[in-house]
Structure 1
Amino acid sequence: MQASKSIKATRKPTNLSLDSALLKEAKALGINVSRSAEAGISEAVKRHKRQRWLKENEGALASSNAYVEANGLPLAQYRQF
């Protein structure tokens, strides 16, 4: 997300259906609803991508973990901690 903050992203008007009481409270508190919604969606996208990556790479991760369990860490003899 750091890159998106430094580059001005093109914004697109979008209609959302929100709980009216929550929207009223957010506005009363001076919360920028558009930016807050964008931050929430950004976080949801990040979590979804992470879960998808973990699922797609599940076999490779399991294989790597099994190797380390059976053989130890490669180059472990050179670790200083």
Structure 2
Amino acid sequence: MTHRTRRSTSMTLDGDVLDEARRLGINISQAAEGGLVSAIRAERARVWKEENAGAIDDYNAFVEANGVLLSRFRKF
């Protein structure tokens, strides 16, 4: 397991949301970190799709015109 450096930060949150999370025993730091990880993954996926849209379009046009490569070997 690799050691990850942890850093402190400050956030401003809706008071009712913060109170409810504390009441439910939710670890605020872990929840915030999990939300950031999800947001990072989603944004990376969006950027990748945007950056590769041309290649994806080209591939789809190729398949449309020529069929799937090696399709004769498919078992389904």
Shorter-normalised TM range: over 0.9
The one of 7, 11, 27 equivalent to 1:16 is 11
Q: How does 1:24-35 map to 2 (within 5 A)?
A: 24-35=19-30
Cα distance in 1 for partners of 2:7, 2:22 equals: 21
Counterpart AA for 2:7: K
TM-score by length of 2: 0.95
Which residue in 1 is equivalent to 2:71?
76
Q: How does 1:54-69 map to 2 (within 5 A)?
A: 54-69=49-64
Which residue in 1 is equivalent to 2:45?
50
Percent identical: 42
Aligned-residue RMSD, C-alpha: 0.9
In the TM superposition, what is the alpha-carbon distance from 1:9 to its structure 2 partner?
1.8
Once superposed, which parts of structure 1, at least 4 consecutive aligned residues long, lie more than 6 Å away?
none
Cα deviation, 1:10-29, whole Å, max 9, x if unaligned, reads: 11000001001110110010
Unaligned runs of 5+ residues in structure 1 are 1-5
Q: How many residues align?
A: 76
Unaligned runs of 5+ residues in structure 2 are none
Cα distance in 2 for partners of 1:8, 1:41 equals: 19
